[in-house]
Structure 1
Amino acid sequence: MRHARWLVVLLVLGVGLAGCARPDVLSDRDGRIQVVTTTGILRDLVRNVGGDRVVTSSLVPDGADPHAYEPSLRDVRNVVYADVAFSNYMLLEEHAVIKALDANLRDGVPNVSLAEGAVKYAAEIIPLVENVALDAIWLGMRVRGTGADYGASRASDVLLSGTAVTGPGAMAAYLTESFGRPTFYLNSADGFEAANGYRDDTATLPPDAHTHMSWAFAEPGVYRLSMVAHLAVTPDTRPVPLGEQTFTFAVGVDPHSVPDMPGATVLRSGHADLTVDLDAVVRDEPAIYLLDDPHGDGDGHQRIHDPSRTVIEVPNKALAEVPTDRAFRFLGRPGTQIHQLPQAVLGKHVHGEIDPHLWQNVRNAISYVELIRDTLIRVDPAGARQYRANATGYVAELEALDGYVRDTVAQIPPSRRHLITTHDAFGYLGAAYDVQISGFVTPHPAAEPSLADRRRLTDTIRNLQVPAVFLEPNLRARSSTLTEVARSLDVRVCEIYGDTLDDRAATYVQMMRFNADSLRNCLAI
């Protein structure tokens, strides 16, 4: 709800700004096309295609993390006056960035999602494969479909709210953000209240998104959780009801002995989600169900389960003690044993099915450039010749860059071509240039690593005998686990760029050349 209220303020400010004199940052345009991008990498691609016919700015400043950046009023001001907008999307950017972009662009302004659009220009995409090697089921929440029949957009919100819990004790669903701070989705201990069409015990997700969380149960027994789903198409429209459903948990008891559910399917391992399907209502099918993804890769092995005939097992091996931190007192007194399905990925981690870091394969960046070229030509036909010439020259530079990265990485012996990084952002680099992605501290840069993450990282480095690990300069402050483990094993710590530029790597070409050189210099010797 915080984001929704904030966005209404931005919309009001955006309308007000439209009637004011243009700010200094945009006043010296000389008739040039104003382009706004979400990240600095996209800004650089646009500048190379647009040349002196465009003025380009990015919402996420260089050195900032696009996964977590919250846009400012100055950012919104640039959006209001933009003639064209480019985002990466595929849920790379913090949802507040996308909302600010989509809500404040003028009518008719092209708003291009490059990662999705570049597929038509031969960009290659790879799925996100998540770790499902857990002792108990990994249970999250998911939204499937686009909701286009409702008029939904990527800036819309899906609200999945708890309405009631029955069982022997309290239950809570929450995520642990960076530095261990919990954020509630559901907490039955204080009841379920509704206000203005929204409920306090609500998970909010964009379309086609997925999030992780922990599920805690105060006492063993059978729990039933009732939930209702709504679609908020825009912040100022009444949420559209999508349906309701009840989910059953067998906590520390035999899941096959749940009353009134003989022969029920038991979900006890792998990856599953409480799922809202935005397109199911149109097909006259239930909109809320359990989606089981046993391999964690969304590769077609997903199975839909009817919650009325499915039991989610929370086994006795899922016992955990309540932490001493006061922030976790909602779980009980410190040291009290509870049953808990682990969040598995610590930190706020909302994502889609596809790895969004396409530009780590230079061939994909070429596809971005071609889409940018065609979009600018559509917006500014008078500049078509210049845009084509700029794009042709830049593509030639990128093709040379692709060869440079490939030849440089090839100088590393295959047995040493192991990349261990701060977070999971280099799958495309690995697939394109034959680098084995052997480990990372966490899947998401905002995550705080667990003790299990640290042990796994230590074992990986020791077993593979890697000479170096790599951290992203903008995430250095969050990379203490990586640097401490490397120091304890006498392993070098080198740098690699993932999502953002800075003064040393001020352009996309410089960034990719730096990455290739860093890999060779740190792994080949």
Structure 2
Amino acid sequence: MVRVRSLLAVLAVATLSACAAPVEQHHRTEVVATTPIVADLVRHVAGERAEVTALMPPGVDPHTYEPRLRAVRDIANADIAFTNGLLLEPHSLSTTIEEALPDNAPMVPLAEQVTSYGGKLKPLVENIALDTVWLGMRIVGKADSEVEIVTEKIDGPEDSKATAYITSTFGVPELVFDEEGDNYFLPADAHTHVSWSFSKPGMYHLTFAAKVKGELVARNTINVAVGVDAPNDVLDEGHVDIAVDLAHKNIMLRGDSPDGTNIAYDYDPATTTISVPNSTLQQIPAQYRFMGRPGDEVYLLPQAVLGKHVHGEVDPHVWHNMANVRAMVEAIRDKLNEVDPAGAQIYSSNAAAYIAEIDRVNNEVRMILDTIPKKNRHLVTTHDGYSYLGDAYGLSIAGFVSPNPSVEPSPRDIIALTRTLENLHVPAVFIEPQLALRANHLTVTADKLGIQVCRIYGDSLDDEVPTYLDFMKYNAHSLARCLGQSEGK
């Protein structure tokens, strides 16, 4: 804040000293935009009608950029300011814009407008280890006694161990099973949250039997992919239960429907696999010896009662989904029309032409990325900024060095990254140009495993990708080239 006030004081002196000079009349709308990507979008809509100034130079990290005096001058002379918003820009820059922008000039956080124009936002996940499916147990229907759930068979990788347990109010674990033959009782129409641990990566096949008063009611096998690709339909998010249906004498998976609603939906265990990603890897605590030796690694699927720890904020990296950029362009058009009504026809015409180009490139990007084989569609990067890219184009965000580029990775982050690369056999990892010097953990790990290191653009533009459309096409070609090859090449 002190730096912001100092810059504003210097600007005020410079402005007063220039009062006596003749002022040239400018007819073009003065626009400032925070990032090079936002500025490029605005330029395509504004055309020659407005003067667009990017506050950040190409190639800088927008998370850490500090405004300079020239930026304060540009803001003070602006008719409108466009930002990405959603806390992408550092607080110092946001404060500078708020304090230096003229009172009658609007500040428009574009990412916060996308849902009004058909775009989609995603929450930021605070703890990636909890960003998983929640797998519980449920009894569906009526019975005149408790239902006994027996773990008949645990078929997993060699020398592996699988356990399930419930954490009580005071944190004491209550075992559901840790070996074949273990049983657990649930009342009819009851539901419980369960935590699951797996000692090794690979496929696990867990066979459960349900009995009422000793009589077999149902039997089925639940398939779990731990740290590896699932062979069929995968459940990797939402709330899912291993459900005993007493009326139909069946054991199935009951969870949220595929369309994202909370309506109960039944999945066939024969064609569905529960996913336990590499991000769940952690060390066994001393009080959980039933999982294995304390300090050893284990894949832990936590019970839903812990909750998915999500920031109140939203992931700001919305531009990796071109449908969101289409929405941002529409918002730019409307805001420029408000500030400069006389130019509305120009802005609307430019926006329509640019949206058509965005749609064309979006189809091109999708066709390029569709060439990546299913087994290689895993993206590993330096930080967590590509969830929109994954959602839009069918890529799995398999791992990253740290959740935030400004945060050093923990030992657990490095272990999880290494196991991700080993278990998924990814042919390449990706590093942003401006983060290359900080990506030593990723490059060292990749080099050790013989994995190629390729380039991806995350937050900015440069001479090689001077426009947003160049940015998206470059990333598509880089991903397809590096992930489209055979393992180890």
TM-score, with length taken from structure 1 = 0.57
Aligned residue runs from structure 1 range 8-407, under 5 A: 8-21=5-18, 30-131=26-127, 133=129, 352-407=312-367
- Deviation track 1:230-252 (CA, whole Å, cap 9, x = no partner) reads xxxxxxxxxxxxxxxxxxxxxxx
Contact 2:322 2:358 in 1 (8 A): yes
Deviates more, 1:360-369 or 1:54-63: 54-63
Query: What's the offset of the Cα at 1:78?
Result: 0.9
Residue from 444, 455, 466 that aligns with 2:404: 444
Contact 1:91 1:351 in 2 (8 A): no
Deviates more, 1:504-513 or 1:452-461: 452-461
| Structure-2 separation of matches of 1:351 and 1:54 | 37
Q: Secondary structure at the match of 2:44?
A: helix
The aligned residue for residue 162 of structure 2 is: none
- Identity, in percent, stands at 46
- Deviation track 1:95-127 (CA, whole Å, cap 9, x = no partner) reads 111011111001110110111122211111011
Q: Which amino acid aligns with 2:34?
A: T
| Structure-2 separation of matches of 1:508 and 1:85 | 19
| Structure-2 separation of matches of 1:433 and 1:21 | 53
Query: What's the offset of the Cα at 1:21?
Result: 4.2
The aligned residue for residue 511 of structure 1 is: 471
Contact 2:123 2:311 in 1 (8 A): no
The aligned length equals 315
- Deviation track 1:274-326 (CA, whole Å, cap 9, x = no partner) reads xxxxxxxxxxxxxxxxxxxxx9xxx9xxxxxxxxxxxxxxxx979xxxxxxxx
Contact 1:41 1:507 in 2 (8 A): yes
Contact 1:127 1:354 in 2 (8 A): yes
| Structure-2 separation of matches of 1:465 and 1:110 | 49
Change in Cα spacing, 1:72 to 1:521, as seen in structure 2 (3 Å) is same
Structure 1: stretches of 5+ with no match in the other structure: 135-253, 257-268, 270-294, 300-315, 319-349
Q: Secondary structure at the match of 1:128?
A: strand
Query: What's the offset of the Cα at 1:36?
Result: 0.6
Change in Cα spacing, 1:72 to 1:29, as seen in structure 2 (3 Å) is farther
| Structure-2 separation of matches of 1:444 and 1:20 | 43
Query: What's the offset of the Cα at 1:16?
Result: 3.1
Change in Cα spacing, 1:255 to 1:490, as seen in structure 2 (3 Å) is closer
Q: Secondary structure at the match of 2:82?
A: strand
| Structure-1 separation of matches of 2:40 and 2:129 | 39
Larger radius of gyration: 2
- Deviation track 1:441-464 (CA, whole Å, cap 9, x = no partner) reads 111111222222212111101100
The aligned residue for residue 524 of structure 1 is: 484
| Structure-2 separation of matches of 1:122 and 1:19 | 45
Q: Which amino acid aligns with 1:5?
A: V
Query: What's the offset of the Cα at 1:255?
Result: 9.9
TM-score, with length taken from structure 2 = 0.61
- Deviation track 1:414-435 (CA, whole Å, cap 9, x = no partner) reads 1110000011111001001101
Structure 2: stretches of 5+ with no match in the other structure: 131-169, 173-194, 196-237, 239-259, 261-284, 288-309
